[in-house]
Amino acid sequence: MKVPRQPEVNIGLVGHVDHGKTTLTQALTGEWTDRHSEELKRGISIKLGYADTAFYRCPNHEPPEGFGIVPICPICGGEAKFLRAVSFVDAPGHETLMETMLSGAAIMDGALLLVAANETVPQPQTREHLYALDIIGVRKVVIVQNKIDLLTAEGAEENYRQITTFLKGSPIATAPIVPISANHRVGIDALIEAIEATIPTPPRDPAKPPLMYVARSFDINRPGTRPSGLQGGVLGGSLLQGALKVGEEIEIRPGPTGAGGAVSESIHTKVTSIVSGGQEWDALHPGGLAAIGTSLDPALAKSDGLTGRLVGTAGTLPPVSQ
């Protein structure tokens, strides 16, 4: 989804497999984040999915009515006020994909923990993701009680009690619990209201040297592309501080892994393009997710080959240890 500004906050969607993370991402952003053939075949997220949206509120209604993702109020047709642009990280819930989820947690400013109302609480990855959020230090969390359309009111209340019991004693014991049906777009306004109240945009320092965490990397060239038409490798992630500009020289640490597992200290390249919020920009500001086009050999970035690296200006990144 194209948004009017660069996203300023990253919100993760975590929880057990098939509890509705990708469906909720689509309800909030209009984008289906399971884009890879194996994901579509298996019906689960394997790689981290990303999507951007903008939050609006129509002043003509009492909350939670009036909160939405479009500038024209769907209730009265009035003009809704822009609140902020947000990036969502759809993390896998399957147990064998926990490492992928943790790499996404490194850039999360807050999270939505999804719990399916038609299953007992907690499911295995519900517990694991709660622990992961605790370890990473993510405390701004909204609990999303999804799939309430699949059971009676009494069943939903019992599931709610199970959730509160599960959270008791945890760092997010007082987190708001919002009942929704992502599939039918019910309760999305109340969820956006809870996100706005619970997950603020953290302070950023654009004056510091740029520091970007790479969560994905790509070769975007199609098979058969002529050499003259090849584009450099693309880095996807979040700028934690500072600013990056098109044309700027950057350093990536550590460098690619070579034969025998040896890791080179760093590689240098140039920023050729910046895409954030579905639009191209001349400069990137901290917060939100972005894709950085570079002059790198695309083979280095292919298939997440540079995931986990740091990007900055030369001489400002921490040293590499073998």
CATH code where residue 234 lies: 2.40.30.10
Same domain assignment for residues 193 and 232: no
Region of 99 (left: φ > 0; alpha: ψ -120 to 50; beta: rest) is: alpha
Same domain assignment for residues 15 and 102: yes
Same domain assignment for residues 152 and 219: no
Same domain assignment for residues 136 and 255: no
Dump pLDDT digits (tens) for 166-210: 999 999 999 999 999 999 999 999 999 999 999 999 999 889 999
More confidently predicted of 257 and 296: 296
Write out the two tokens for 180: 């929704």
- What integer pLDDT is reported at residue 240 of this predicted model? 92
Same domain assignment for residues 184 and 270: no
When computed from its CA atoms, the radius of gyration of the chain, rounded to whole angstroms, is 20
Is residue 146 helix, strand or coil? strand
Hey, what's the torsion of the CAs at 204, 205, 210, 213, to 10 degrees?
A: -20
- What integer pLDDT is reported at residue 32 of this predicted model? 64
**What count of residues does the chain have?**
322
- Crossing angle of helices 21-29 and 188-198, in 10° steps, is 90
Q: Is the pLDDT of residue 302 over 70?
A: yes
Is residue 223 helix, strand or coil? coil
The answer to whether residue 321 is domain-embedded is no
Burial environment of residue 222 by CB neighbours within 10 A (0 to 12, 13 to 18, 19 or more): exposed
Q: Are strands 234-241 and 211-218 parallel, antiparallel or unpaired?
A: antiparallel
- What integer pLDDT is reported at residue 235 of this predicted model? 95
Question: What is the average pLDDT score of the chain?
Answer: 87
The answer to whether residue 320 is domain-embedded is no
Domain boundary among 198, 227, 252: 198
Provide the whole-model pTM: 0.87
The answer to whether residue 139 is domain-embedded is yes
73: containing domain: 10-198
- What integer pLDDT is reported at residue 215 of this predicted model? 86
Task: Give the residue from 260, 247, 257 showing the smallest Cα distance to 320.
Answer: 257
Same domain assignment for residues 120 and 249: no
Same domain assignment for residues 19 and 159: yes
The answer to whether residue 203 is domain-embedded is no
Write out the two tokens for 194: 């809870």
Distance CA(109)–CA(242), nearest Å, equals 17
Dump pLDDT digits (tens) for 6-27: 999 999 888 887 767 888 989 9
Residue 319 CB contacts under 8 Å (≥ 6 apart), including other chains:
none
Same domain assignment for residues 119 and 179: yes
The answer to whether residue 4 is domain-embedded is no
Q: Residue 181 is which amino acid?
A: S
Dump pLDDT digits (tens) for 90-129: 776 444 334 544 555 568 899 999 999 999 999 988 998 8
Domain count, the chain: 2
The answer to whether residue 322 is domain-embedded is no
The answer to whether residue 270 is domain-embedded is yes
Same domain assignment for residues 47 and 183: yes
Dump pLDDT digits (tens) for 51-68: 899 999 999 999 999 999
The answer to whether residue 318 is domain-embedded is no
Same domain assignment for residues 117 and 157: yes
- What integer pLDDT is reported at residue 124 of this predicted model? 86
Region of 118 (left: φ > 0; alpha: ψ -120 to 50; beta: rest) is: alpha
Domain boundary among 173, 198, 223: 198
Domain boundary among 198, 226, 257: 198
Distance CA(314)–CA(252), nearest Å, equals 9
Q: How does DSSP classify residue 34?
A: -
For residue 68, what is the enclosing H or E element?
strand 67-68
- The enclosing domain of 31 has a CATH number of 3.40.50.300
- What integer pLDDT is reported at residue 257 of this predicted model? 74
Same domain assignment for residues 64 and 174: yes
Same domain assignment for residues 158 and 241: no
Is residue 97 helix, strand or coil? helix
Q: Is the pLDDT of residue 133 over 90?
A: no
Other CB atoms within a 10 A radius of the CB of residue 273 amount to 15
Task: Give the residue from 60, 34, 37 showing the smallest Cα distance to 47.
Answer: 34
**132-142 average pLDDT score:** 90
